[in-house]
Amino acid sequence: MKFNDLDARLRVFETAHDHCALPGLYLVARLDGRGFTRLTKEVYSFEAPFDERVRDMMVATVRHLMHCGFRVRYGYTQSDEISLLLDLTEDAFGRKLRKLISVLAGEASAAFSLQLGGVACFDCRIAQLPGPDYVVDYFRWRQEDAHRNSLNAHCYWLLRRAGVAPAAAHAQIKHLSTGAKHELLMQRGINYHDLPAWQKRGTGVYWGQEVRTGYDPIRQQAVQATRRDLQVDYELPLGAEYEALVRQWLQPTGTTS
């Protein structure tokens, strides 16, 4: 069979299920580390529950994802997950979901693996959100998830270090109210409120302006230039303030809110 015939006959099996995200929908990609429970505790021995080295590799991965050809307006990371808000008018790969998902997962896996010096893998899914309020709620949801997980993780590791076995520690925490978890930590001298904000709320990455001072040799004077640069926010606000922060990234680039 000639190549053109084979091409026509078989291409359809690859492309028939190529779904495209509809225009006007907000796209949020969430990437999650595969098997990071084992990776962080058995393959490598990172500090538990939180290690700044893991955080920094995740942030470096977010930065890479925001520089690799997609218009990402806001990046957010907590634990082993990353959420990316794409510009409302993003049309990379004609908005083909399979392409977006596979390329983002590949880019994240490659970037994190280079940081780690070993193989790490991320999966990716894309939520297609029908309006701005959904996007705000999405990021509030992930921030609340970070908050709950960090409280549980601090309690779990406190019990483990006190000699409690893994299953018993899980069981003990499961039945405690939020207040009782705070109390458990407090009894051992840990005030949850004093823990670093990035552990409780995650870390945000967004575009800002950086002012650089250079020297103009012709006019022989200092000059200032601004350029678009990524800013990493380790002190994300909560509630209405966080909502306002997310809302500023909802308008497509080039428009004002």
Ligand X SMILES: Nc1nc2c(ncn2[C@@H]2O[C@H](COP(=O)(O)OP(=O)(O)O)[C@@H](O)[C@H]2O)c(=O)[nH]1
Q: What residues make contact with ligand X under the rule CB under 6 A?
A: 32-37, 40-41, 46-51, 54, 79-80
Identify which of residues 44 and 242 has a Cβ nearer to ligand X in the complex: 44
Work out how close the CB of 34 gets to Mg ion at its nearest, in angstroms, rounded to a whole number: 6
The closest of 138, 103, 98 to 249, measured between CA atoms, is 138
- Give the residue, chosen from 61, 77, 78, 80, that forms a contact with Mg ion under the rule CB under 5 A: 80
Please choose which of Mg ion, ligand X, none residue 199 contacts, taking the beta carbon within 5 to 8 angstroms, the exact cut-off set by kind: none
Please choose which of Mg ion, ligand X, none residue 48 contacts, taking the beta carbon within 5 to 8 angstroms, the exact cut-off set by kind: ligand X
The rounded distance, in Å, linking the Cα atoms of 62 and 114 is: 13
Please choose which of ligand X, Mg ion, none residue 37 contacts, taking the beta carbon within 5 to 8 angstroms, the exact cut-off set by kind: ligand X
The rounded distance, in Å, linking the Cα atoms of 255 and 87 is: 11
Work out how close the CB of 205 gets to Mg ion at its nearest, in angstroms, rounded to a whole number: 19
Work out how close the CB of 249 gets to ligand X at its nearest, in angstroms, rounded to a whole number: 25
Is the dihedral angle over the CA atoms 157, 184, 233, 30 positive or is it negative? positive
The rounded distance, in Å, linking the Cα atoms of 72 and 67 is: 8
Work out how close the CB of 43 gets to Mg ion at its nearest, in angstroms, rounded to a whole number: 13
- What residue spans of 117-213 are helical by DSSP H? 132-161, 166-174, 178-187, 197-201
The closest of 256, 228, 235 to 72, measured between CA atoms, is 228
The rounded distance, in Å, linking the Cα atoms of 14 and 99 is: 12
Please choose which of Mg ion, ligand X, none residue 41 contacts, taking the beta carbon within 5 to 8 angstroms, the exact cut-off set by kind: ligand X
Q: 123 - beta bridge partners?
A: 32
Number of residues this chain uses to bind Mg ion (CB under 5 A): 4
Identify which of residues 26 and 112 has a Cβ nearer to ligand X in the complex: 112
Given the rule CB under 5 A, which residues bind Mg ion?
32-33, 36, 80
